[in-house]
Amino acid sequence: MANKRFGLFSLLASLALIASADTGANWLEVQFPHDSPVLPVTLSLQQPGPTTATVRGASLVVDLHASLLLRNTGTKTLSGLTLLVETPDLTPAGRGSVTVPSLHAQPGEVFPVHINMQIARPLSMGRSKGPMMQLSLDCALFSDLTAYGPDKLHARRQLIVYELQARRDRHYLAGLLEAGKLAQLREELNFGLQDLNPAQLAFELLHGPTAVATNREQPLAVNTVAFPDAPLKPLSGHAEVAGNEVRSPRLELRNTSTRTVKNFEIGWIIRDDRGRDFMAGSLPSAMQVGPVETASLTQPGTLRFSHPSGQPMVVDGLLAFVNDVEFADGKLWIPSRRDITEATPDPVLRRVLGSSPEQQRLAEIYRHKGMGGLADELKRLD
């Protein structure tokens, strides 16, 4: 009985702590170093919606919705950043993160960041002596591709990839605008609009036995897209598929360059049983591949895919491509626009391969401000 009372007391204390905090200062602590090039200005836990807490089993789940205003206090243009939210008194810590690419925040500029995530906390932990959660800067990337922060999440590499994609796409769209190819420019931007975007699937990386392990596995060949100038090319692959699960997919890759590859990221496109293609995300691989070597990559565990609605999907086809490559000297490669155009004649597939956060951002500007607003934005960032 005492344990039940303690559990109920812990729950009520935690809920009261959330309900009574207008600013969240009592339970969400914002900690940025004093020498940070970006610092918080204000924090609201009521935007874009109220932060709430519910009990799920033996855990207290906080639905965190926060709006944070940050200021670039440094001397360089800020290209992107990653924020870390964690529960520091838990071992291992519960974590969440927010990555914001395509910022273009000038020195002194104030900009918003929205945080929407769930953080779980065991009820048995009781009330924390300090704030329940801690918000900190994990990595900030500048326009010269230098970075600041502890980078606990290893986000620096992804932020650089986003920035290289942004520069590629701005240069391409500006070229179309300068050449007066407005019809082609509109076509490119229409691909970035929300209602025409390739749907992003939800996927989980699972280890060990899965809930549908009794489903009969079927072998499935993995098709590949090879970019003409890619230093690392996928040759072939196969996997075992059961329903919405892809188990231990394997790829053969060849390093066609004279440089050692240190890391790379494989992108996955899934075709469902209705013949529709979905961008399923990408997975990094810390595998070293020497010059002109062939390597076999096996993704351990199981990839489980769901539609945006949360419903499981039937995997009927798999396509893999090399999304980016990091060499031993730290330099990065991403596919150029020519690579994407020449990789496939399928316009839908090219749309998936060429989609980036920056193109989607520019498409939204075009959607709301027209061609003039887009031209002004591209000139501003030139």
Any idea what DSSP says for residue 200? B
- The pLDDT of residue 289 is 96
- The pLDDT of residue 130 is 64
Residue type, 119: I
**Contact predicate 101/143, CB 8 Å:** no
Neighbours of 79 (CB within 10 A): 24
CA distance 362 to 357: 9
Secondary structure in 3-state letters for 253-302 = EEECCCCCEEEEEEEEEEEECCCCEEEEEEEEECCCECCCCEEEEECCCE
What digits encode the pLDDT tens for the residues 301-331?
788 888 767 778 888 888 999 999 999 999 9
CA distance 156 to 140: 8
- The pLDDT of residue 129 is 62
CA distance 149 to 152: 8
Any idea what DSSP says for residue 28? E
Gap between the terminal Cα atoms of the chain: 68
- The pLDDT of residue 305 is 81
**Contact predicate 218/241, CB 8 Å:** yes
- The pLDDT of residue 365 is 94
Secondary structure in 3-state letters for 32-44 = CCCCCCEEEEEEE
Q: Compute the 3-state secondary structure of the chain and give helix, strand, coil in percent, each to the nearest 5.
A: 25, 40, 35
In order of 11, 25, 43, 68, 366, the CA distances from 18 in angstroms are: 11, 10, 15, 18, 40
The phi, psi pair for 339, rounded to 5°, reads -55, -45
**Contact predicate 316/272, CB 8 Å:** yes
Tokens representing residue 234 in the block: 């996928």
Please identify every stretch of the chain with a pLDDT value under 70, giving residue numbers as ranges: 1-27, 46-49, 58-59, 88-94, 121-130, 191-203, 205, 207-215, 308
**Contact predicate 149/157, CB 8 Å:** no
- The pLDDT of residue 269 is 86
Neighbours of 369 (CB within 10 A): 13
- The pLDDT of residue 13 is 36
In what helix (H) or strand (E) does residue 152 lie, and over which residues does it extend?
none
In the three-class reduction of DSSP (H, G, I as helix; E, B as strand; rest coil), residue 344 is classed as coil
- The pLDDT of residue 302 is 84
The phi, psi pair for 210, rounded to 5°, reads -115, 170
Tokens representing residue 132 in the block: 């329940």
CA distance 293 to 50: 53
Instruction: List, in sequence order, the alpha helices (H) in 75-224.
Output: 156-178, 182-190
- The pLDDT of residue 339 is 95
- The pLDDT of residue 28 is 77
Any idea what DSSP says for residue 331? -
Identify the CA nearest to 325 among candidates 356, 355, 284, 354.
284
Residue with tokens 């390093």: 255
What digits encode the pLDDT tens for the residues 81-98?
999 998 766 655 567 899
- The pLDDT of residue 5 is 40
